Amino acid sequence: MARVTIKDIARISGYSKTTVSFAFNDPSRIGRDTREKILRIADELGYIPDPVARNLSLRRHGTIGLLLPEVISFAFYNPYLSQIVQGIGEVCERENHSLTLIPPIRESLMEGIRRAAVDGLITIGLEPGMEAVEFIQRRHLPFVAIDGRVGGGFPVVGIDDFTAAGTVMRHVLDLGHRRIAIVAFGREPKLSTGSHVKSQRLSGYREALEGVDPELPDEVTYVYAAPSLDGGRQAARTLLDGRERPTAIVAMSDILAVGIIDALQGAGISVPDDISVVGFDDIPEASLVRPQLTTVSQPGYEKGRHAADSLMSLIADQESPGHIVLHAELVVRASSAAPDTVSSNSR
């Protein structure tokens, strides 16, 4: 049997489409008998209104989109994304919305934005001036950016990455480390490119380094890695193969730090006795691994929740809810310690 449409119900019941629609959506507009008759027929035929046609009429979709900077199969290697999704999810459930994950197509966000049948978008790391931003605005889609740069006429939810990065780097420096490696995510080896978050954190690291010694930023080893466990493992191997081993590794995200620790331990290196490792994010895994990870706690769940809240009010009011800067703080655990003064770990 083919799909049952409102037209079928109208034809069989003898009423018009309008009346059938009212029977479901605005019962007070029609007579009780009329309604009962229509509902009975609809039930018998198993009528379910086509959601797409419904959405088209209502100009509501009951879905918000999450525009991912990476393909789904890769993005979820980082539990940090799970936390953001959870926070968004809390709001979705409150508002009875679903959540559409929109991956880039052929390395571009455009096509995903073009085809998104959603009430609004949450983006990760989108910045003023990017082509994707213009495109979203041309579609008149309400949107909120997580981890973006302020100043493009859209609300941004984030933390002060510059300050947070400085805090964790100063912790490492205060412990006495000077041979330091920074493991950044992304593929670009240049400071000036890449996301706002990345450049902010790098700048924060460098400022802390300069505070100790103006030449220190240039003595630091930089390694770039994909934000996943394996990315961290590879970064660790790269560092171990290097000429001079660092006494501390500062990773730009926890998933990298955890992968680094795993690889170091696999190579028989003790953390933090031989090498200290610190991260960024404070994902749940940070306190599960041994040694527990020293890191900067930034609230991924809260970022998602606030972004979704802002988006909902944007959708409802058309009024911009303003930027939100969430709190981040250093969490000192067991993966960082003073460097071994005997320097037994250099080769």
Fill in the amino acid letter for 262.
D
Residue 5 found at the interface with DNA (CB under 7 A):
yes
* CA 328 from centroid of its chain's CA atoms: 16
Closest separation in Å from C-beta 42 to DNA: 10
Query: Of residues 36, 44, 57, 176, which one binds DNA by CB under 7 A?
Result: 57
Cα 301 to Cα 80, 81, 86, 126: the distances in Å are 8, 9, 6, 19
Exposed e or buried b for every residue in 165-202, given b needs 16+ CB within 10 A? Answer: bbbbbbbbbebebbbbbbbbbbeeeeeeebbbbbbbbb
Round to whole Å and give the CA distance between 249 and 260: 9
Prior bond of 27 cis (ω within 30°): no
Instruction: Mark 82-121 with x for binding to a copy of itself (rule: CB under 8 A) and - for no binding.
Output: xx-xxxxxx-xx--x-xxxxxx-x-----xx-xxxx----
| CA 131 – CA 150 distance, rounded (Å) | 16
31 binds, among DNA, a copy of itself, none (CB under 5 to 8 A by kind): DNA
Under rule CB under 8 A, which residues in 133-172 are in contact with a copy of itself?
Answer: 138-140
Among 15, 21, 65, 205, binds a copy of itself (CB under 8 A): 65
- Taking contact as CB under 8 A, which single stretch among the options 28-36, 49-57, 154-162, 313-321 is the one that binds a copy of itself? 49-57
* 80 class by beta-carbon count within 10 Å (0-12 exposed, 13-18 middle, 19+ buried): buried
* Partner whose binding site includes residue 18, from DNA, a copy of itself, none (CB under 5 to 8 Å by kind): DNA
Q: Which residues bind a copy of itself (CB under 8 A)?
A: 3, 46, 48, 50-56, 61-63, 65, 71-77, 79, 82-83, 85-90, 92-93, 96, 98-103, 105, 111-112, 114-117, 138-140, 229, 258, 262, 284-285, 287-290
